[in-house]
Amino acid sequence: MDDTYRKIENLLNIKLLNHALQLLRPLVAKQPDSNLSDRLQSIETNYRYLTDYFLSGGDDPDRTAIINQLIAEAYRLLDNIVLADNMKSSLRRPLLSHWQEQHTGYCGRAKDVFYHFLLTHDAPSLAEEWELLQSEDDLVSMQMALPALTINILNDFSEPLFLLLVDSASHDKQYITEIALTGCVLCLHKYRERLCFFPQIEDRWQLLVSDPRKKESVHRICLRLLSTTLTRQVDQAMNNLQKDILSQQKNISTGTKQIVITLNDMEEGNPEWGETLNKVVSKHSETIMRLHQTGADINYSTTRMLLKEPFFRTEITNWFLPFSTENTDLGVDFRSPAGKMLLKIISANAEACSIDRYATCLAIGKTTG
């Protein structure tokens, strides 16, 4: 299916509609939804009438626009077929079960919102929910909804959902706007070949970035995305930090007996470990902060390991939750002296995003635990 989808998409990109329709027929025939078959027949009939008209010498100034409309409808049909297959995918079932259960823990509503925007393709329903979140000024849920909506669109193209994402970038809170714009940039890049067939998206986007502040934000986002390719330097910086922490941990001992260092050891019982950790982190902070200020993910190497962490493995929403010391799922008491010291370390870089802070917290906790 993936190969066939790509072939059809490539044919539509270069406006070979007839060839694309030939590949679409067997896919539509496998679908139980008769509406898909009716839509395919409508596209084929209109295309045939249009071709016969032009071959007979007819001319129409709107010829290009009409062809583009038929290609856009073929895109929609293809996307609906892929969506129908994805709904039956075994990979989708665990996400559906997560959505159906009621989240009652930390930020329970925000997690429910995430799954709603991730798995729903009913644009009017999502638009209504977005309006509700705005009216209630539920900023945490909005921060969860936007990345979920972005993933939804990246997985299954939808013109109405794309327009909703673009419109959400007009929020009056800058950080909400930044999240929406980042999603727009990612989606615009993935679907750059087909957007000429969906002028409403292009028009809405151009109107949005006509605001100089929005345009500047988009420029900054693009630079940051490009800077995430600095993975080698990031890996080296984080590896050096962890090696130094482990090295210092081994050096702190009583006689020949090795002391097992935990976060609690940073309290009064072992103040030298807290001082040592501060020195080690400070030693590498300049390099790490320099990389991060250029847009690099300071925890790129750590993030791959975080896939094994229960905190991230068992709940996908934790990858997108705004960082908070109230998140008890993290398993850290930030009110303790050790927790306060850890919070000071992970808050040192004001530019760090939530995933950076969660990753650093888990990485240092695991290294010292």
CA 261 to chain centre: 36
Least confident of 18-32, 43-57, 144-158, 172-186: 43-57
What's the rounded mean pLDDT across residues 65-74? 94
Residue 169 and residue 110 in one domain: yes
Say if CB 300 and CB 94 are below 8 A apart.
Answer: no
Residue 219 and residue 120 in one domain: yes
Label residue 266 by pLDDT band (50, 70, 90). Answer: very low
Residue 142 and residue 248 in one domain: no
pLDDT exceeds cutoff 70 at 45: yes
Residue 100 and residue 217 in one domain: yes
Distance CA 185, CA 224 (A): 11
Residue 246 and residue 327 in one domain: yes
User: How many domains does the chain divide into?
Assistant: 3
239/186: higher pLDDT: 186
Tens of pLDDT, residue by residue over 154-204, are 988 999 999 999 999 999 999 999 999 999 999 999 999 999 999 999 999
* Of 198, 227, 256, the domain-final residue: 227
Sign of CA dihedral 110, 147, 316, 76: positive
pLDDT at position 98, please?
Answer: 53
* Of 54, 87, 120, the domain-final residue: 87
Residue 18 and residue 139 in one domain: no
260: three-class secondary structure by DSSP: coil
Say if CB 321 and CB 113 are below 8 A apart.
Answer: no
* Of 203, 227, 251, the domain-final residue: 227
Residue 257 and residue 351 in one domain: yes
Tens of pLDDT, residue by residue over 165-179, are 999 999 999 999 999
What's the rounded mean pLDDT across residues 86-112? 62
- For residue 214, the enclosing domain spans 96-227
Q: Which amino acid is at 103?
A: H
Residue 14 and residue 108 in one domain: no
Distance CA 3, CA 196 (A): 23
* Neighbouring-strand partners of residue 258: 253
Tens of pLDDT, residue by residue over 309-347, are 787 887 888 888 888 888 777 777 788 887 788 788 777
Residue 293 and residue 203 in one domain: no
pLDDT exceeds cutoff 80 at 238: no
Entry field: residues in the chain: 369
Residue 363 and residue 256 in one domain: yes
Residue 218 and residue 246 in one domain: no
DSSP states along 262-317:
-GGGGSTTSHHHHHHHHHHHHHHHHHHHHHHHTT--TTHHHHHHHTTSHHHHS-GG
| pTM for this entry | 0.74
Residue 42 and residue 14 in one domain: yes
